[in-house]
A and B are shown apart, each in its own frame.
Chain A
Amino acid sequence: MVTNEDVQRFITAIKMASTYDFSDYSERSFKRRVEKLLIDNHMDINQLSLKISKDKFFLEKVVRDITVNTTELFRDSDMWITLKHQILPKLKKNKSIFIWHAGCSSGQEIYSMLILLHELGMFEQAKVFATDINSEMLESSKAGVYKYRFNLGYLDNFDKVIKENPLNFEETKDVPYEKYFDIDKVKDTIKMKEFLREKVVFRKHDLVNDGNIFYSKFDLVLCRNVIIYFNNKLQNHVIELFNNSLYRDGYLVLGAHESILGPVSNNFDRTKGFYKKKQF
């Protein structure tokens, strides 16, 4: 059984050995992942702390395992349908559209967005940036290869978002999957096409420590199901960063069950999970 002191010692060990700071993560779920980490590595907290201080590769692996990397193609189809019919059309007239996927994990959301942009004829004008705290996750984002069977269910979401029109159920658009990714049932993979993969600028970025590392502001920042792992204080810090990184009238997109609390919420108009930065 892991105690609160154990969790504190773990956080301190990581802080001493790197720039990562997990002090302001949501406590309950973080503690549970520390427990799981100890079980998976067959170590107690002392052994783990020692190895973290001596072995950089191990430290990166620990950071990968302690952060949560669940993501799906077109996760929450309702959000994508709103994006498709209400948000992106407003940006279409812009010469360039700057998009930041913050905390992109293994990248399924980036490819969902690229596919949608392409279908709306907005692919060329989009400038797409993606960041994650973990370099291994960035590598798998870049590779754009996913388990076919695991993602099978999410192809329904592709159909819902890309092929169907929610305003007219009789209208469907025939978009073959092969336009955007290759399915190999024997190898059990879905591989994103190269023209999608090479579109994205990937950078390592830590929402706790780093500011806006791109020389640009953004029309859209997507950060979905990331700040649920942070406590209120860190959530506010990160929302402040997004607020400063958005153009006026730009949109911050959070997860379906995330919201902005505290004074910074006054800077945004909310419709569903979309936060529009106000004009001041």
Chain B
Amino acid sequence: MDYKAVIIGGSAGSFQVITKIIASLPENYSLPVILCLHRLKHVRSGFVEALSIKSKMPILEPNDKDPIKAGKIYLAPANYHMYVELGNRFTLSTEDVVNHSRPSIDLSFSSASYNYKRKLVGIILSGANKDGALGLKAVNDSGGLTIVQDPSDCQVPTMTQAAISATEVDHVYNTRKIIEFLLNLDS
């Protein structure tokens, strides 16, 4: 299956998992990796730098209408929603918070699933609210592949449990298995 993009959503307790995942990906990874992570309202800067320390791939907070390219990691900017637009570009928005969150994982996942259809891999990690559950369902409904971090592997399992009850997920994996899976996608 030739996938076009990987999208990952995470919240409380996901920082270490994300760091491990991106540290494992090679410099010229063959897909774009889109991250939609909740962060504390007052920790708006320094996040990219913190993630970049371990990453071989470049990590960018995209501008509005930036094209989405393979081999790059895109992080939803603080205080913006991030949509994937047809034509493989990002669109940002300052609309109201969704699920108490901006960026909202549901919005990023739903729009990405609309653009990539079955060529999308959606992954939900540790988190303390239900954002992402409907987004992962949208990925599933469009025929994309869905992965949820094993709740027993999560620091905070609420988000992964919500995703598992909202839709039939393809794989429930611990961090190590998620990394293996992503490395196998690389071509």
Contact = CB atoms under 8 A, between A and B. Distances in A.
A29 interface: yes
A28, A235, A256, A258: residue with the most chain B Cβ atoms closer than 10 Å: A28
B76 to A, nearest CB: 10
B45, B62, B66, B93: residue with the most chain A Cβ atoms closer than 10 Å: B93
B11 interface: no
Contact of A28 (B41, B96, B114): B114
A256 B77 CA distance: 9
B95 A68 contact: yes
Interface residues of A, number: 22
A68 B85 contact: no
A241 B74 CA distance: 31
A28 B88 CA distance: 12
Contacts of A32: 95, 107
A203 interface: no
Contact of B94 (A28, A68, A232, A235): A68
A33 interface: yes
Interface in A33-71: 33, 68, 70
Interface in A154-179: none
Contacts of A68: 93-95
Contact of A229 (B41, B66, B93): B93
A138 to B, nearest CB: 19
B86 interface: yes
A222 to B, nearest CB: 15
A227 interface: yes
Contacts of A12: none
B85 A27 contact: yes
A28 B83 CA distance: 7
B84 to A, nearest CB: 7
Contacts of B62: 257
A259 interface: yes
Contact of B95 (A29, A78, A261): A29
B117 interface: no
A257 B77 contact: yes
Contacts of A235: 65
B86 A27 contact: yes
B91 interface: yes
A196 interface: no
Interface in A58-95: 68, 70, 78
Nearest to B115: A28
Contact of B93 (A78, A228, A259): A228
Contacts of B114: 28
Nearest to B61: A257
A68 B64 CA distance: 15
A96 interface: no
Contact of B64 (A33, A70, A153, A228): A228
Contacts of B111: 28
Contact of A29 (B45, B86, B91): B91
Contacts of B63: 257-259
B15 interface: no
Interface in B54-100: 61-66, 77, 80-81, 83-86, 91-96
Contacts of B84: 28
Contact of B85 (A26, A78, A153): A26
Interface of A: 26-29, 32-33, 68, 70, 78, 153, 225, 227-229, 232, 235, 255-259, 261
Q: Closest 7 CB pairs between A and B?
A: A28-B83, A70-B94, A228-B64, A26-B91, A29-B93, A28-B111, A259-B63
Given A28-B86, A68-B93, A228-B64, 14 more contacts: A27-B85, A28-B84, A28-B85, A78-B45, A227-B64, A228-B93, A255-B64, A257-B61, A257-B63, A257-B77, A257-B92, A259-B64, A259-B66, A261-B65
21 contacts: A26-B91, A27-B86, A28-B84, A28-B86, A28-B114, A29-B81, A68-B94, A70-B96, A78-B45, A228-B64, A228-B92, A228-B94, A235-B65, A257-B61, A257-B64, A257-B92, A258-B92, A259-B63, A259-B64, A259-B65, A261-B65
